[in-house]
Structure formats: structure tokens, C-alpha cells
Amino acid sequence: MKRVVVTGIGGLCSLGQDWKTVRDALLAGRSGVVTMPEWDRMGGLRTRLAAPVPGFEIPEDWPRKKTRSMGRDSAMATWATAHAIAEAGLTGSSLLSDGSTGIAFGSTAGSPGALDSWAEKFYGQSSLSGIGANEYVRFMSHTCAANLAQFFEVRGRILPTCSACTSASQGLGYGYEAIKHGQQTIMLAGGAEELGLIDAAVFDILFAASTRNDAPDSTPRPFDEDRDGLVVSEGACTFVLEERDHALARGATLHAEILGFGTNCDGRHITNPDQAGMEQVMRLALADAGLAPEQIDYVNAHGTATEVGDIAESRATAAVFGAGVPFASLKGALGHALGACGSIEAWLALEMMREDWFAPTLHLERVDPRCGELDYIQGEPRKLEATTIVSNNFAFGGVNTSLVFGRAR
């Protein structure tokens, strides 16, 4: 089996478009959550909270021929991928288009803005007039993966992942497996999500969205006994994954190594999380990595701030790793980036591991006593020299993922 390393990462989220900006926000305890007064138009919607990416625009030097099929999600995915490729030293390289590079990339769905436009014309006006040739491409389920392939002229395998909140983490996992089993040498892997009112509405209908509309700087509150739901956000993050010997031979910098991956399905309920399934997926990832639970130094939680989800996840984590493992969620600061969260949160966890500190779960003041007994990182950043970490994500449909990362050697 091949070893798989990370040679480049590019990402943007509600806290910023580079690690330094995000780092400063995390250390200062700042959140990307804001109120959305433009959502007042939607009758019956209780939440007015979201965490958009500030200031993102499509770069002016991108060819119109390659951007006309992109919604905001694909554009953010392309931006993140370009930065990851540059960090990996692959900009302009023939390796991208000679078939040795593939793509494993996902989102919850396509661009909600493009879907809104199509539906307004097709259903609202009952007319095809004004519907452009690229409008469907912008909201098709594999739009991000397809747009990345044509923008960077990638000719290897393409694995579009469309599994809600595990889209990006499945992208990382399937990219890892493609290299591990010798099917590709390099994979562009991750996920993207465009903020849409429809996403907030889905969770609002389920009574799973935070309604602290007058206090956006106090929510979401993962694992806190006063939590009242999640806050949707957006962003994108791409990892350049590479076969280790190939990376070393071309002199690439190794940022981390993927040691293991597990994915499974609860097979029990379409929306309610299942502790047994979560526990099993972590054990699958550890088995793939050949590691014991006590060898893990930190667990990066999914931690959405929903009642059932937080309880099931924390209890499953405690069952696998015991009470002493340091444990935190980044969603208190970032919001929930849905199809992008798996790669964004893994990116930030790896950056923190490289700097020997981990951010606390923002807004976590009093741990819900129904949650599992764990070493919750609260209040202040934790100085921690970790060499091996786990990053977990869980999605509607009972889809679970667990990734094991180690420092590059």
C-alpha cells in the first residue's frame, strides 16, 4: 500500500481567506456569525443567522470561458484549489493533466443561487425564456468537481462526493484511498459550500437552527447546555494529496500524512445521529491507520450544537478514546459549512497541530451533563504538542466519516 501525504492546502471560510487571518480570529475568540436582515422576506423563518465568507469575488484574470459554468460554490472551490496547487509547487505542471492526477471533491448540492434562478423562470414563469445554457451546470450535484476538472484540465479519475456534511471528508478519504491503492499519484480533494437561504430553512424546519438573532456573537454553542442549534456557513478547502515517495522525489514540502480513513452508514434514521454508527466509524479509521485509541492526541469534533447530535457524538467519542482525550469543535467560530466543513476543519486542525496549540470550542461555557465525559477544550487555546489527530464528520442519511492525520515524517 502507498503512503499518502498532504503537499498543499488552500482554503477560505467565514473567518478569512488565509491561515494567518483565521488564526488571529481563533486566538482572539472571534466568530464569523452575523445576522442576515435580507432573510426577513421569508415568512415563517425563525433564524436570521449565518456565517458567510467576507469579501470573496471571482478573480478578474480568470478566463470567462472557464467561469461561466460556475456558481459561487465552484468559484470558491477553484480559488481554494489554485492556492493548494501553488503551495504544492504544481502550478502549470504537466502532472495535473497527464492522467496521474484525479479529483475527489463534493458539496451538499450545486449552487443554491443558480437553482433559485432556474426555478423562478422554469416554475414561476413556466417558461424557458431567459434560461442560459450553463444554469443547470451551476446547480448540478457534481458542479464543483466538474468545474475543477475543466479549469485545471485534470484528466484522471473524478470522484464527486455529495453526502451533505460529509461531502468534503469523503472527498479527502476517497482521494486518500485512490492513492493508497495505486490508482492515482495525486488527488485534489475536499469540498465547497455556497451559503443559501434554503440551507438555513432546512434546519429551521427541523428546529435545529439557532434563533439567537439578537446575539450573533454568542452562538452556536456546541456541547453547551444552553445551545439552541446550528448556524449555516460557507467556504471551500482543497488538499493536494500525493503518494509520499513521488512527493519526496520532486522535492515537495510534506505538511501532514493521512494515516487512516473510515466511512460507514448508521442504517437507522434519515436525520437522527446514531451513537453506535459514530463509534464504529472511528474504530474503522483507527484500524485502517493501525493505531490504538490511546495514540490519538486530539479529536476534532463535528460538534454542530444540535441537541441529539452533540450527545451522540460526544458519547461515541468517549466510548472509543476515553475521558482524557482533548476534544473541541470549530463550528462555534466558523458556523456549519455543510459540504465544505470536513476539509475546512481538517485544514485548521492540521495548522494548529503544526503550531502546537488548539482552539477552544467557542461559546462552550457549561458542558451539557448528558454529553460524554471528555477533556473539552474551553475558554482559552490549549498548548498541546500533538503528533496524531482524528477529525470526524457526520451527515444526514446516517453517513459517518473519520480521518486520522499524523505529522509528516
What pLDDT shows up at residue 361? 98
Q: Cβ neighbours of residue 149 under 8 Å, at least 6 residues apart?
A: 103, 155, 158
What pLDDT shows up at residue 307? 96
**Would you call 325 helix, strand, or coil by DSSP?**
coil
Q: Cβ neighbours of residue 61 under 8 Å, at least 6 residues apart?
A: none
Which of the residues 144, 162, 165, 371 is marked catalytic? 165
Which of the residues 83, 302, 341, 363 is marked catalytic? 302
**Mind listing the pLDDT tens digit for each residue in 335-375?**
999 999 999 999 999 999 999 999 999 999 999 999 999 99
**Would you call 182 helix, strand, or coil by DSSP?**
coil
What does the block give as the cell for 218?
454568542
Detail the DSSP E strand segments found in 157-204.
158-161, 186-193
Which residues of the chain have a pLDDT value below 70? Answer: none
Which of the residues 13, 336, 341, 371 is marked catalytic? 336
What pLDDT shows up at residue 90? 98
83: annotated active-site residue = no
- Contact yes or no for 221/363 (Cβ under 8 A): yes
SS3 content of the chain, % helix, strand, coil (to 5): 40, 20, 40
What does the block give as the cell for 386?
500533538
What pLDDT shows up at residue 120? 84
336: annotated active-site residue = yes
Rounded CA-CA distance 63/219 in Å is: 40
Domain 261-406 has CATH 3.40.47.10: yes
**Mind listing the pLDDT tens digit for each residue in 137-184?**
999 999 999 999 999 999 999 999 999 999 999 999 999 999 999 999
Output the DSSP codes for 6-56.
EEEEEEEBTTBSSHHHHHHHHHHT----EE-GGGGGSTT----EEEPPTT-
302: annotated active-site residue = yes
Domain ranges within the chain, ordered by starting residue: 4-249, 261-406
Protein fold of 4-249: Peroxisomal Thiolase; Chain A, domain 1 (3.40.47)
